[in-house]
Amino acid sequence: MRSRQLVRFSRRFEDWQIAGYVLDVGPKFFLLALVSDRMWFDGFECFRISDIRNVKSHPYTKFVESVLKKRKVTRLRKPKVSVASVEDLLRSAGRAFPLVTIHREQVDPDACWIGRVVQVTHNRVSFLEIGPDAVWDDALSEYGLSQITRVNFGGDYEEALYLVGGDAKRRVP
């Protein structure tokens, strides 16, 4: 993080590698400006530190950064998101972004839940979900904080859902 270096790493839940710039590190999660395999920034991801494997400098940093520069893609700045705890992470991401994605990979490794963070307590998050058709649910869902393994926001997919589905503030039950 201090060297502002492009890194690449793997996780115990996936067979592929992830690339980006570490923007902040907390006791259990860290914040990454994600560089997609299409070589542009695709929002932010927060990963549980305990799930990370093989963190290294990206072997093709010069190439990736040259592509980003030629595309006139500027490096993402750290958003007003705290990784001090999972509670702080969800609350601050919910304030800073209209949609937040949570992953519970130990419960269901092939699913994610996207929506608006409505409330966070010491062990649960209340969430108004938006479906892949950009239609908001009518009722809140709740998830245990200890099950959350990754949190995303500000990415292309969240933006697409928000563009079509609109704001959830009027829809909170």
Q: Where are the domains of the chain?
A: 6-168
pLDDT number for residue 169: 64
> Is the model's pLDDT at 170 over the cut of 60?
no
Residues 156 and 43: beta-carbon distance below 8 Å: yes
What is the arrangement of strands in the sheet containing 17-25, beginning at the earlier edge strand?
52-57, 6-11, 17-25, 29-35, 41-48, 150-153, 100-103, 113-120, 124-129, 141-144
Tell me the average pLDDT of the chain. Answer: 93
> Is the model's pLDDT at 10 over the cut of 90?
yes
Fold of the domain spanning 6-168: SH3 type barrels. (2.30.30)
> Is the model's pLDDT at 173 over the cut of 80?
no
Alpha carbon 161 to its chain centroid, in Å, reads 15
> Is the model's pLDDT at 25 over the cut of 80?
yes
Question: Which tens digits make up the pLDDT trace of 34-92?
Answer: 999 999 999 999 999 999 999 999 999 999 999 999 999 988 899 999 999 999 999 99
Around Cβ 71, how many Cβ atoms within 10 Å? 10
- Strand runs labelled E in 66-107: 100-103
Angle 136-160-17 from CA coordinates, rounded to 5°: 110
